Amino acid sequence: MSDMNTDNTVDPNIVEEEQPAMDAEEPDDGSDDIGSDALDRLQMLLDSAIASEEERAQLLTRFLAFMSGRRTLTYEERAFLSKPPPKPLISADIAGVAEYIRSGRAKNIIVMCGAGISVSAGIPDFRTPGTGLYYNLQKYNLEDPQMVFSIDYFRQDPKPFYELAKGLYPGQFHPTKAHYFVRLLHEHGLLLRDFTQNIDTLECIAGIPKEKTVFSHGSFASAHCVSCGKEYTPEFVRKKVFSDELAVCECGACVKPDIVFFGEKLPDAFFHHMVEDFPKCDLLIVMGTSLQVQPFAGLIGRVGDGVPRLLINMEVVAAKPVPPPADADEVERYRYRTSSKFAFNDPENLRDALFMGPCDDGVQALADALGWGKELQDMFGAPLPENPSL
């Protein structure tokens, strides 16, 4: 029970039945001994995003009674705990997620975004053959194109990164519908946090508040010397990049935008909000990412067992097949256990929803199902601010 939310309190109106003394012999009333199965069920229900406050208070009361020394459950309690966990979604698709949001059960939505949400803005993703950013670095004969994001390689030769940066630099692109959908969630009071892998800062241009965004892999919004650590403005670096020059510090070392390279630690904000936000999350939306880079990819397993998850992507990623069932209880525990894989292949899955296609199509379909379709279209079609803050 280490994952139990300590913010939950027992309803004072629920009266706990009198407990027998620790050394007293409990009467044989036909009740069953409490076992690990009942406690597993208790954990599942406590973690469920759709349990009411009254149900959670009742369950917490029962658990506290058990911890205080009672070792049995009445028939009524056992029947309550043996009920199947409530299904998060009515269907594992856009319609099911829309119904879940409309029901009011989604109040703290976390969005996880990758490069796929920026493709329709004209920014190529990294891995698509023929068009991806890594593909366009072939002339540098890198053993692995990901070397362009290695801090050790950057110290030796920053030119490949500077060339790649020219194609990514903020100010050249218009946010996509996917970006504006995240803003729409915020304006409807439903967005807890937007975790993005992207460094293009289109979130800022779209009007998503900075305090709502975690740039998991950094961004172009600031820059520092890789040797002495002196800070430089993004304008200084931008001017050098578009002049095909290297931004050099007065100490002689190269200046790098504050993008997280391999070999560097992620921003402190990533870990802070990872710990603070995911226990509160009641709906996770994942868009446009291959979920190949850790620790970002592992975030999908940090939400509660009963929290619905929606993947909007061109392809299925991070899908896990159902293991051979040992018995019915084991299969049930598997389906509701927090996992770093999606359960799309589970024939009875009603937690993980999937929309395969462009991210803009997925968010438009969800917005339409929520009655927000025109609002999203109007927001996307509005002129950009003249000087958006990065």
Query: Which pTM does this prediction carry?
Result: 0.74
Mean predicted lDDT score pLDDT of the chain: 81
pLDDT digits over 198-209, tens only?
998 999 999 999
The answer to whether position 13 is within a domain reads no
* Same-domain check for residues 243 and 313: yes
pLDDT digits over 63-79, tens only?
666 666 655 666 666 66
**Which of the residue ranges 5-9, 143-147, 340-344 has the most confident prediction, judged by mean pLDDT?**
340-344
pLDDT at 134: 73
What distance in Å separates the CA atoms of residue 114 and residue 361, rounded to the nearest whole number?
Answer: 16
pLDDT at 4: 39
pLDDT at 33: 45
Number of domains making up the chain: 2
- Among 174, 179, 186, 217, which one carries the catalytic annotation? 217
Q: Provide the domain limits for residue 182.
A: 94-381
| CA 142 distance to own-chain centroid | 32
The answer to whether position 358 is within a domain reads yes
* Same-domain check for residues 348 and 247: yes
Residue 40 burial by CB count (10 A; 0-12/13-18/19+): exposed, middle or buried? middle
C-alpha radius of gyration, the chain, whole number: 25
* Same-domain check for residues 65 and 206: no
CATH of residue 190's domain is: 3.40.50.1220
- With cut-offs at 50, 70 and 90, classify the pLDDT of residue 246: very high
* Same-domain check for residues 359 and 268: yes
pLDDT digits over 295-314, tens only?
999 999 999 888 999 999 99
Is 186 annotated as catalytic? no
**Which of the residue ranges 42-51, 104-113, 115-124 has the most confident prediction, judged by mean pLDDT?**
104-113
pLDDT digits over 8-62, tens only?
443 444 344 444 443 434 444 444 444 555 556 566 655 555 555 566 666 666 6
pLDDT at 28: 43
